[in-house]
Structure 1
Amino acid sequence: MGSRLKRFIRLKSGQAFRWSLLILALLVSIECLLQYNESEYVRSVTLDVISKANATDDRARILALRAYLRGAVHYSGVSKENRPFLRATAGEILKSGEGYCGEVTRAFICMAGEAGIRSQRINLYGRTPHVVAEAELDSGERFIVDCQNPPEIEQLEPLDQVMPRLDYDDYSTLNVRRLHLSWLVSRVKLRMGDLTYWSENPHALKAALWFFLSLGLIALKMMRNLLRYVLHKRGWIHISDEPSINAAANALWRYRGRRIDEITLALRGDAMSDHGSNVVDIRRSKAVRLDDSMVDTLRCPGCEGGLVFGDDASGRDAEGSLSCMECGSEFDVINGIPRMLLPEMRDALAGKETRIDTRQIETAQSFGFEWTHFPDMYVEWNRNFLDYMKPLEPSFFQRKKVLDAGCGSGRHAFYAAQYGAEVWAVDIGPAAEVARRNAGGSDSVHVVQADLNNLPFAPESFDFIYSIGVLHHLPEPEAAFRNLLRYLKPGGEIKVYLYWKPEGQPLKRALLGLVTLARRVTTRLPYRLVYLFSFPAACAAFAIFVGPYRLLSKIAGLRRIADRIPMRQYSRYPFRVCVNDQFDRFSAPLERRYTRAEVESWLTRAGLEDAEVRPNCGWGGSGRKPEFMNEPLFVEG
């Protein structure tokens, strides 16, 4: 009995960190959901008020909201005792109709935010402390808005005019009066924006609290591991290799029922990874030699002229350059990868000022960070690849010349080559290096760094083109899709995967609304911070969706319910895949979503034959290029 209790305690202590993150992620998710419902209610009230007032400009909207709140919220008879520390939410204030100057100001700021008006709280200090809002018009003018009834400040006036006229001697945006720290923020105003809006939403503040607490736990865990590593390297402590033994045991259980050679591949010392025993280590990429047949496929992305080896690439090895015979442009070959970017794109990726949309560059940099931090090749990617390619069979790829447009880590290119294709894998950023490591060891995979809008290939070069999860991250997705068709042979097939826009699915639509709301903040954060955020987000996904799906799917009578659970696809993959997708979801600034009808219209306008759209946690659109077709028209994205 004693030994069982010890094992139980050791198990619980070992899982404490994971469970703590899971609980915190659940709390973050709950607060985000409450915040979403809160925002929806406030938005509906705001639109109703503005519509009834027929307000068409910012000043009219501000006056309409102020008049509504002066009539709808009162403080007479309202007790000041037992109020929550963070006070009531805007929705609670609007529903109850009760609140002092601070509460009614919060309601105004939230309603103004839903109306597209920037505003913030101003705490006035003096003989009688008071709380008002400061709102900003399109012209940049700022006015004090007092929504209390009766008001201390009747009209819209600038703060500088209010201060000397009334009995106020100090002000601040931050309300720390209850902490007796008002002196610390005397006459300090925050910059209007998302921070001042979110600070008026208690659910958002609590979500941020739980989120940063989870980051603190992760930081403590990392510091602990770093300290253990340093002490171990110095020989001051000895760390048991028990985790490796447990990992091998878990791998045997994970791979139960598979062929012995697959299990051996997973457990071999040179095929193990720090991220789990089902990570497949692809053989090391050998030195790539560019031959004439490869150069014949490439073209100058600027003028489509033919290329020749530069003088410094006489050996045609992994380093050198390619020169355009038409315009004389030169393109480096570094680490076996032709760098076929136009000068302006090279400068933009290097951080220089160009005419290229900064969001496009930030999105490219985001994916560069993503694939260098999530480079793993899992055995599950084989099934994943075949799912994306449906209804095509593996035999389809035999002796096909294929373009992987936006190859990322190179996992799809690897399996396309395994099934007999000659694959040209293209990516715009550092992912090209990852793709070369993962798939470039095969003679059938050629990795090129290039821009999908300016591809370095001869027209009608490929039998099959696919682009999985890429086009919706471009500034003009449909135009990029049309551009891909230029490189497809007549009779060749194309397949694209695009994010879907939920239709008739309230739960998924609500989740997407939460994600969209969070993206307003996360897409502006450093990639490292989003990377850390992705772990608790993935924990929340597993706790709320994946775990229940795994349980319900095992019960015959509940499988239909289980099949409706969002994010159930992650039950087939390692946990780190979900972390990867959360980073993808919250990091890339450019992202679009489409309905089925919109994807079908892409295929129709492109003039493709046998066009088909299939659902697969998104929309998979495919079609065949006719033997004779007109040049596709340029379409604005």
Structure 2
Amino acid sequence: MKKNNIKQEVITDFGKNWETYKQNRYIEKFNKPQFERYFKNFPWKKIKKHSKGFDAGCGTGRWAYFVAPKVGRLYCVDPSSAINVAKKNLNKFKNCFFYKKTLDEMPIKNNSMDFGYSLGVLHHIEDTEKALLDCVKKLKPKAPFLLYLYYLHDNKPKWYHFLWLIADTIFRKNISKLSFKKKYFFSNLIALFVYWPLSRFSLIMEKFGIKVDNFPLSFYRDKPFYVLKTDSLDKVGTKIEKRFTKKQINKMMKKCGLNKIIFNKNAPYWCAIGFKKN
């Protein structure tokens, strides 16, 4: 029997995450600015109304919601129960097709897709490079692939990464072992007593003209509490979380058959676009 490149417990956890935070009432209000950040360098001019593409690890469909109106067909792939949430969130789009499959089981022909993307997914998979390769195989030559992987704080001071190591050891590595109810409880406490005060402190400092790029959780300074709760559960609830430097991601993308790689200059890090080689 073929072994999937992702643990079942990780699939189950993320299914519960997205069943809890469905994004249904907030999908456009909260996610549009983030979508624009992710897709800043995406070559929309090369994407036509008849183009076909895929969302590798679609979750609630929060990014597919903005891609679907621009393309001919969009295949949404996710192995968890989140696929049912995506179906509801995207029910007004008749060009979306849903597969409850892992990335190494995608029922999509190789060399058939005009584009693809995977945002915040492959760092939760045991073999990230293999998962990326599975995605690239589906693309036509010269087709773009947008990738977002957690960064290893390689553009931050050393003390920043040291703080993260402490927090990761105390919080994620312990909380991720608990039942989902307990994960949910503790993630909400962290959102309230860690994410909220630190992010709002950055917002206040920014208003005084202070540069806050290196302030912990400054990325969330203008985000609503719903997003803080969602991301808190995402961060502390998963048993597998890998992080990569920009150099490692660039090397991985090239090894998997992508070239002309461009990295976004702004957070979230690292988000990059590459094109499949001929």
Give TM-score, length-normalised by structure 2: 0.90
Match in the other structure for 1:614: 264
Q: Which residue of 2 aligns with 1:540?
A: 193
Corresponding position: 1:602 with 2:252: yes
Write the letter of the residue equivalent to 1:565: F
Cα distance change of structure 1 residues 395 and 374 upon mapping to structure 2, 3 Å threshold: farther
Kindly report the root-mean-square deviation, in angstroms, between the aligned alpha carbons of the 2 structures.
2.0
User: Please, which runs of 5 or more residues in structure 1 have no aligned partner?
Assistant: 1-343, 346-354, 628-637
Do residues 509 (structure 1) and 153 (structure 2) align?
Answer: no
Q: What is the one-letter code of the residue matched to 1:409?
A: T
Is contact 2:60–2:86 with CA below 8 Å preserved after alignment? Answer: yes
Q: Distance in 2 between matches of 1:507 and 1:540?
A: 21
- Distance in 1, Cα, partners of 2:77 & 2:29: 22
Q: Which runs of 5+ in 2 are unaligned?
A: none
Aligned pairs (5 A) from 1:133-148 = none
Q: Counterpart in 2 of 1:429?
A: 80
Picking from 39, 44, 65, the partner of 1:414 is 65
Equivalent residue, structure 2, for 1:550: 203
Compared with structure 1, are the counterparts of its residues 619 and 421 closer, same or farther at alpha carbon in structure 2 (3 Å cutoff)? farther
Identity %: 25
What does the per-residue CA deviation read over 1:472-510, in whole Å, with 9 as the maximum and x for residues that have no partner?
111111011011111001110111100110135234313
Cα offsets for 1:392-436 (capped at 9, x unmatched): 265554422110000000011110013345211100010100000
Residue 498 of structure 1 contacts residue 593 of structure 1 at CA under 8 Å; is this kept in 2? yes
Equivalent residue for 2:12?
365
1:147-204 alpha-carbon deviations (Å, 9 max, x no partner): xxxxxxxxxxxxxxxxxxxxxxxxxxxxxxxxxxxxxxxxxxxxxxxxxxxxxxxxxx
Aligned pair partner of 1:475 in 116, 119, 126: 126
Aligned to 1:379: 29
Does structure 2 conserve the Cα–Cα contact (< 8 Å) formed by 1:386 and 1:394? no
Instruction: Give the Å deviation of 1:566.
Output: 2.5
* Cα offset, 1:588, TM superposition: 1.2
- Counterparts in 2 of 1:468 and 1:356: CA distance versus 1, 3 Å: closer
Write out the 4+ residue segments of structure 1 that deviate beyond 4 Å after TM superposition. Answer: 393-397
Q: Secondary structure at the match of 1:509?
A: helix
CA distances 1:558-609 after superposition (whole Å, capped 9, x unpaired): 2x2x232222222332201111111111111111100111001112222322
Counterpart CA distance in 1 for 2:92 and 2:196 is 38
Contact kept in structure 2, 1:495 and 1:623, CA below 8 Å: yes
Verify the 8 A CA contact 2:173 2:236 in the aligned structure 1: no
Which one has more relative contact order, counting CA pairs under 8 Å at least 6 apart? 2
Output the amino acid matched with 2:263: V
Instruction: Give, in whole Å, the separation in 2 of the partners of 1:488 and 1:607.
Output: 10
Provide the aligned length of Structure 1 versus Structure 2.
Answer: 271
* Cα separation, partners in 2 of 1:511 and 1:486, compared to 1, 3 Å: same
What SS class does the counterpart of residue 114 from structure 2 fall into? strand
Deviation at 1:445, TM superposition (A): 1.3
Q: What is the alpha-carbon distance in structure 1 between the residues aligned to residue 107 and residue 167 of structure 2? A: 36
**TM, length-normalised to structure 1:** 0.41
In our comparison, the structure showing a higher alpha carbon Rg is 1
C-alpha contact 1:397 1:416 (8 A) present in aligned 2: no
Alignment correspondent of 1:251: none
Paired residue for 1:440, among 57, 79, 91?
91
